[in-house]
Chains A and B, each alone.
Chain A
Amino acid sequence: MHLPETTLASVLLVGATSGLFAATAFASAAPSPLTNGDLVAVRAHKLHVSPGNVLEDATLLIRDGVIMQVGDDLKVPDGARVIEGDVVCAGFMDPWGSLGMNGPATVDMSTNAATRAVDGVDPYLHPWYRHQALAAGVTAVRVQAGMVSARGGVGAVLSTAPAEDLKSMILLEDSNAAAGLGLSSRGNPTDVFARISAVDKLVSDINSGRDYAMGLAKYAHELEAWNKTIAEAEAKLEKDFKKAQKDRDKEIAEAKEKGKEFKEEKYKEDKRPKPPKPDAEDAVMARVASGELPLVVTIHRAAEMRELLKGTARFKRLRLVIAGGTEAEAVADELAARSIPVIVRPIPLGANRPDEYSGHDLALAGRLADAGVRVLLGSSGGGSADLPLLASLAIGHGLDRDKALAALTTEVARTFDLSGELGSLRPGRRADLLVLDGEPLLPTTTVRYALSAGRVLISPDSRD
Chain B
Amino acid sequence: MRTQRRMHTNALLLASLAFVASAPASASSREGDALAIRAEKLHVGDGTVIENGIVVFEAGVITEVGKGAPVPKGVVLIEHAGHLSAGLIALREHAGAGGESNDSSRAVMDEADLAFAYRPHHSEVQGLLEEGITTFVLAPRPGSLVGGLCAVAKTGSEVISRRAYLSICTGTNGLTSNRFPTSLQGSQAELERRFSWPRGVFATAVKGELPVMLDGGSSRTEVQHAIGFARRHGLKGLLVGSTRLGEMAAKIRAAGLGVAISNYAPSTGRRVVEGAVALSEMQVPFGFALGSPNNHPANLRLTAAACIRAGLKSSDALRALTSTAAQLAGVADKVGSVQAGLAADLVLWSGEPTDPGSRVMAVYVDGDEVFQAEDDENGDDQ
Are A and B direct contacts in the complex by CB distance below 8 Å? yes
CA distance A383 to B296 in the complex (A): 18
Interface bin, chain B: 20 to 34
Contact A348 to B381, CB < 8 A, known contacts A386-B266, A389-B302, A396-B358: no
Is the CB of B31 closer than 8 A to any CB of chain A? no
Which of B295, B308, B378 is the one whose CB lies under 8 Å from A443? Answer: B308
Interface 9-mer from B2-10, B187-195, B244-252, B349-357: B349-357
B358 contacts which chain A residues (CB < 8 A)? 396
* CB interface residues, B 283-316, toward A, < 8 Å: 291-299, 301-302, 305-306, 308-309, 314
Interface bin, chain A: 20 to 34
| CB < 8 Å A-B pair total | 94
Contact B305 A392, beta carbon cutoff 8 Å: yes
Binary interface encoding of chain A residues 125-164 relative to chain B, with 1 for a CB under 8 A from any of its CBs, else 0: 0000000100010000000000000000000000000000
CA distance A204 to B95 in the complex (A): 46
Q: How near does chain A come to B78, taking the closest CB pair, in angstroms?
A: 21
Contact A392 B381, beta carbon cutoff 8 Å: no
Which of B268, B294, B298, B355 is the one whose CB lies under 8 Å from A444? Answer: B355
B267 contacts which chain A residues (CB < 8 A)? 379, 382-383, 385-386
Contact A443 B306, beta carbon cutoff 8 Å: yes
- Name the residue on A nearest B308 (C-beta): A443
- Name the residue on A nearest B293 (C-beta): A351
A400 contacts which chain B residues (CB < 8 A)? 378, 381
- Name the residue on B nearest A395 (C-beta): B357
Which of B292, B352, B356, B376 is the one whose CB lies under 8 Å from A393? Answer: B356
Is the CB of A195 closer than 8 A to any CB of chain B? no
Is the CB of A442 closer than 8 A to any CB of chain B? yes
A350 contacts which chain B residues (CB < 8 A)? 291-296, 299
Tell which of B267, B295, B298 has the most Cβ of chain A within 10 Å.
Answer: B267
A306 contacts which chain B residues (CB < 8 A)? none
Contact A392 B356, beta carbon cutoff 8 Å: yes
Is the CB of A441 closer than 8 A to any CB of chain B? yes
Tell which of B268, B308, B378, B381 has the most Cβ of chain A within 10 Å.
Answer: B381
* CB interface residues, B 112-155, toward A, < 8 Å: 124
Contact A396 B266, beta carbon cutoff 8 Å: no
Contact A396 B355, beta carbon cutoff 8 Å: yes
Tell which of B266, B297, B308, B359 has the most Cβ of chain A within 10 Å.
Answer: B266
Binary interface encoding of chain A residues 435-453 relative to chain B, with 1 for a CB under 8 A from any of its CBs, else 0: 0000001111010000000
Q: Is the interface of A mostly helix, strand, loop or mixed?
A: loop
A352 contacts which chain B residues (CB < 8 A)? 294
Q: How near does chain B come to A381, taking the closest CB pair, in angstroms?
A: 9
CA distance A457 to B294 in the complex (A): 38
Contact B292 A389, beta carbon cutoff 8 Å: no
CA distance A395 to B352 in the complex (A): 13
B301 contacts which chain A residues (CB < 8 A)? 396
CA distance A141 to B186 in the complex (A): 49
B270 contacts which chain A residues (CB < 8 A)? 132
Contact B298 A348, beta carbon cutoff 8 Å: yes
Is the CB of A406 closer than 8 A to any CB of chain B? no
CA distance A132 to B354 in the complex (A): 22
Binary interface encoding of chain B residues 299-341 relative to chain A, with 1 for a CB under 8 A from any of its CBs, else 0: 1011001101100001000000000000000000000000000
Closest 8 CB pairs of A and B: A383-B267, A348-B296, A395-B357, A351-B293, A386-B266, A392-B357, A443-B305, A348-B298
Chain A positions within 8 Å of B, measured between CB atoms, are 132, 136, 347-352, 362, 366, 370, 379, 382-383, 385-386, 389-390, 392-393, 395-398, 400-401, 404, 441-444, 446
Q: Can you list 20 residue pairs at the A/B interface with Cβ under 8 Å?
A: A136-B309, A350-B292, A351-B124, A351-B294, A352-B294, A362-B298, A370-B377, A370-B378, A379-B267, A383-B266, A389-B266, A389-B302, A390-B266, A392-B357, A393-B356, A395-B356, A398-B378, A401-B381, A443-B308, A443-B314
